[in-house]
Amino acid sequence: MKVKNRKVFNISWNNTTAKQVQIGMNFEFMPNELIVRSVNYDTNDNLALQIGSDIVKESVLCSFLGIRMMQELENHFSLGPNFPQNRTWLFQTQTPPSGTGVGVESTTATGIVSLMLEFIEH
């Protein structure tokens, strides 16, 4: 598919002081795909984590194992035809579900979280 427009957002927050952040995003076009390009996590914690967000219907953008890591990703998400061009989105560090595999748990993890998100219009 031919790409008409693209926009990249680099998001970062200190997970020690805030387990979630709200980020305002404005687009000059109507994106129909989101690609999570990378996640970076700088910590001493050895925990499995995931990044949840209300920006996609799947709720989870990526998952990873902590301890000072940078992981390149190609996580693709389709965005609906009514994806808002201007909105504030929630991004949250979570502990993946354990046992039953249902729900998420709050995390005690500390460190700096960074994401690279690419929005594309085809």
Report domain extents, the chain. Answer: 5-68+78-121
Mean of all residue pLDDT scores within the chain: 88
Token reading at 32: 């129909």
Region for 100 from its dihedrals, namely left if φ exceeds 0, alpha if ψ lies in -120 to 50, beta otherwise: alpha
Say what the pLDDT of residue 108 is.
73
Model pLDDT for residues 24-57, shown as the tens digit of each residue? 999 999 999 999 999 998 887 778 888 999 999 9
Region for 36 from its dihedrals, namely left if φ exceeds 0, alpha if ψ lies in -120 to 50, beta otherwise: beta
Which helix H or strand E contains 25, and what residues bound it? Answer: strand 20-26
CATH number given to 5-68+78-121: 2.60.120
Say what the pLDDT of residue 64 is.
85
95-118 average pLDDT score: 76
Q: How confident is the model at residue 102 (pLDDT cuts 50, 70, 90)?
A: low
